[in-house]
């Protein structure tokens, strides 16, 4: 099974209750196949281009979630939707 990383969507919630989306493309060096055991996890670091959002990231609390939605219908490619945990971060300056 393979994951097409370009279909990864990031949802950022801002202190002023806006929801920002980023849907790639994302350049990563990941294997073409990732095996995750039940209750397992796979983590990678991603740098998002903050200027893409056209939003002034001012001081405050934010949250981010990644959503992978695969709709392929042929071959040995996993189909379905995966959502990450919601992570919080703060802009302090």
Question: Does a cis peptide bond (omega within 30 degrees of 0) precede residue 50?
Answer: no
- Chain position carrying tokens 């939707």: 81
Measured over the CA atoms of residue 70, residue 26, residue 66 and residue 35, the dihedral's sign is positive
56-72 pLDDT, tens digit each: 888 999 999 988 877 66
Tokens 């397992």 correspond to what residue? Answer: 40
User: In which band, very low, low, confident or very high, does the pLDDT at 24 lie, cut at 50, 70 and 90?
Assistant: low
Q: How far apart are CA 17 and CA 10, in angstroms?
A: 16
Residue found under tokens 């990231």: 57
Domain boundaries defined on the chain: 5-91
């Amino acid at each position: 099974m393979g994951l097409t990383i370009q279909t990864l969507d990031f949802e950022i919630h801002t202190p002023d209750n806006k929801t920002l989306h980023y849907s790639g493309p994302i350049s990563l060096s990941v294997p073409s196949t990732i095996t995750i055991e039940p209750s397992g996890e796979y983590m990678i670091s991603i740098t998002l281009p903050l200027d893409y959002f056209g939003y002034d990231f001012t001081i405050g609390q934010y949250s981010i979630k990644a959503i992978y939605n695969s709709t392929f219908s042929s071959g040995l490619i996993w189909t379905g939707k995966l959502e990450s945990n919601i992570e919080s971060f703060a802009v302090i300056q």
